[in-house]
Chains A and B, each alone.
Chain A
Amino acid sequence: MKQNQNDNDIDRILIENIGKLPYKDPPEGMAETILRSLAPKKMKWWRRFYIWVKTPKTFSVSPFALAPALVVVMVFLTFTASFYFKENIPESFKQIGEYQRNVPVSLIFKHQKAASVAVIGTFNHWNPKGYEMEYNDALGAWMLKFKLPTGRHDYVFLVDSRTSLPDPLSEFTRDDGFGNLNSVLFVKNNYGQKI
């Protein structure tokens, strides 16, 4: 109680003394200075961006409005990916992709005396079954059309189920290790060609 009484006395004395002080005009620009100091400081752009990113947002989009945007994004991604992967596709992907592509191939072999000719090679595990050639009277040669995965393939013609002969039309060969040559066939799909 006594403490409160003392405080009230001090306040009263201060108010009376302040009232007795002579009036004086405030210094020029004081109001502006005070207001400027009270105005919020402008934050740096990155700080504002950080706060904006951190603040949860709520978006309301109808699926109908979103569809065109998705289409545009998909087209952009497809175009970018195809452009990038054209040459930079990982080797393993490329091998899988190449292997899945089968390219039509025609082999022709001239051998008048053969009773039967088949093509054997790395692509059919050196098994002639299903790779028998047919004699084409018009060409006077044995012919076989089939499909091969892209890549490099070794092959020979198996004449009368007994004699293996390399393809005389093939420019490339590999030593078979047994003292003979295998022909080498390069099959490439890119650009729509078979080479």
Chain B
Amino acid sequence: MLSGLLLGTTGVSMAQLGSQSGGLQETPIENSQSAGLTELVETVRAAGVPETTLNRLLLAGIEDRELFDAMPEIFSLLIRAHRENLPLEPLTSKIEEALAKRIPATKTIAVLKQEIDDLIFARRIIRQRLHSEESVDPGSIIQLSEILRAGITKEELRLFMKNTSGAPLSMQIVGAEIMVYCRQIHFNPDIIQKIINAGIQYKSFTPGWRYLAKVIVAAKKRGLSGEQIGKATIDILEEKGSLKDLMTELGFTDRDVRREPIREK
């Protein structure tokens, strides 16, 4: 029966799952819950939650009573996201991450709620940006919501999108990514601002530019100053050049930006 639920061919009762986890006592309430759980499993399966994620979650629930009790709420959150036409991939990924890291179920639920809030926020600002209530590309929603976990507040992101609304959405997202990751490496904020302004003004932030922060790290390791890197970057952006052009300008050869071999400390 357990395999039936896992593979989606039949239902499994709470007591049956309970007995797998060490003989938990079945109660009338749990019986009614199990029927609901089966329905929820079927609903999330129909919503498009990957079978592997579902099975992994159900199997983990056998080992972890707290997780098992939290499953209806986890499934309800997935169903809510599906009904709100939000992309499910960030949520299923978070569930898998939580399982791998053995995160307590209560914490997982809180993070899933936060994730849904972030996705709704990202979709709202994209809709505002596009002046349309029509469906928004899920990829853009995911990209924008992911930026929120890299060191930028919602208010900052909202302002950024507002201030850069002259550029295409994809370039705004690249710009926001550059900003947060350049902040992480403590790159001069004034230079970051100038780079963002140039990329947006000249509409040169093609997707390749999202790796700029990594190139800056490599360039600084080569001894180039922030001013030198900033000037070269802005010049290339003004010429609508690519990140490859910048790397050539900074004097990189094929191997220079590879991950460095480990050094003895």
Contacts and interface: CB of A to CB of B under 8 A. Distances in A.
Indicate the member of B207, B255, B257, B262 with the most A CB atoms within 10 Å. Answer: B262
B254 A193 contact: yes
Contacts of B247: 191, 193
B103 A106 contact: no
Contacts of A178: 97-98, 101, 103, 107-108, 111
Q: Interface size bucket, B side?
A: 35 or more
Contacts of A179: 107
Contact of B262 (A87, A105, A141): A141
Contact of A126 (B93, B114, B208): B93
B170 interface: yes
Size category of the A interface is 35 or more
Contact of B254 (A108, A139, A192): A192
Contacts of B103: 178
Given A152-B210, A175-B149, A177-B114, A139 B262 contact: yes
B29 interface: no
A44 B57 CA distance: 79
A171 B217 contact: yes
A125 B99 CA distance: 10
Interface string A169-195: 101111111111000101010111111
Nearest to A180: B101
B214 A195 contact: yes
B218 to A, nearest CB: 7
B149 A174 contact: yes
Contacts of B131: none
A169 B264 CA distance: 13
B96 interface: yes
Interface of A: 86-87, 91, 94-95, 98, 105-106, 108, 110, 120, 122, 125-128, 139-141, 152, 156, 158, 162, 164, 169, 171-180, 184, 186, 188, 190-195
Given A87-B240, A169-B259, 18 more contacts: A94-B207, A120-B97, A125-B96, A164-B100, A164-B101, A171-B184, A171-B213, A172-B181, A172-B184, A173-B150, A174-B146, A174-B150, A176-B101, A177-B111, A177-B114, A184-B181, A193-B258, A194-B257
